[in-house]
Structure 1
Amino acid sequence: MITGGCLCGAVRYESSAEPITTRLCWCRFCQYIAAGNAAVSVCFLTARIKIAGETGDYESVADSGNRMHRRFCPACGVHLFSEAESRPHLIFVRAGTLDDPNMIRPAATIWTAK
């Protein structure tokens, strides 16, 4: 079982499925949420992840042109998930929110240049 959550514990998630992939994203928005570095995201099928707790939603348009929903804990502000409207079957979990982030290894690097 893969588990994780935000800093304050108000939002928790779990999945019995293995991740599809892990990637580092260097788009400008991901640099903001990762404090200047690439954001490390772990991809799961949306149907295979269970989320407990309320999340806030910040909607934006990514460099790719995809409309994104970036979900965060409204209590502590930790960014937890990203979902693209063009790929509703996928959810990207921020690796730093995993209870065991050492279990993942990045497989791809994206948006290294505009």
Structure 2
Amino acid sequence: MSERTGHCLCGAVSFRLNAEPQMPRVCWCRDCQHLAANGTVNFMIPTEALTVSGQLAEFRKTAASGNEITRQFCPQCGSQLFAFSSARPQFRVVRAGNLDDPSSIRPVMNIWASSAPQWACMDQSLQRLEGQPQPPATPPR
């Protein structure tokens, strides 16, 4: 396992990951499209494996899955950094573009593909899920 680090656009928020990313994927849900004007590359990490320095702002919304999603972002520059779901608070979703080395992960699936625009550039070698994937197993304690 290699430690990964990252930060927001302005540097006011930085973070460290002490576990391997789980379920790296490109999400095409409409909420992610609103956040990025495209699909977003993200992955899950056990909550206790994420250390954050700096203040985060939050926005909560019920997603198409029916779960309440809390998105966390830098209040200075607006960079979307993390999210978590009411259905699995033991995990944080991390936006891969904020990693210091985003090439250190590679998506393995497209999720919410049914919501992708017709012009979406999807890697056909990746698994395609039309909606929400099953969450990873709860990390051992």
- Within 2, Cα distance between the matches of 1:33 and 1:40? 12
Say how many residue pairs are matched: 113
- Mark the structure with the bigger radius of gyration: 2
Equivalent position of 2:25 in the other structure = 23
1:89 aligns with 2:90: yes
Letter in 1 for 2:23: T
- Within 2, Cα distance between the matches of 1:66 and 1:108? 21
Please state which structure has a larger fraction of its residues in strand. Answer: 1
- Within 2, Cα distance between the matches of 1:21 and 1:27? 16
1:13 aligns with 2:15: yes
Higher relative contact order (CA 8 A, sep 6+): 1
- Within 2, Cα distance between the matches of 1:66 and 1:78? 22
The superposition leaves residues 49-97 of structure 1 with CA deviations (integer Å, 9 ceiling, x where unpaired) of: 1011110001001111110000000000100011001100110110110
- Within 2, Cα distance between the matches of 1:83 and 1:34? 17
TM-score (norm 2): 0.77
Aligned-CA RMSD value? 0.9
1:103 aligns with 2:104: yes
Letter in 1 for 2:9: L
- Identical columns (%): 45
Unaligned stretches of 5+ residues in structure 2: 116-141
Unaligned stretches of 5+ residues in structure 1: none
- Within 2, Cα distance between the matches of 1:17 and 1:95? 14
Equivalent position of 1:60 in the other structure = 61
Equivalent position of 1:77 in the other structure = 78
SS at match of 2:25: strand
TM-score (norm 1): 0.95
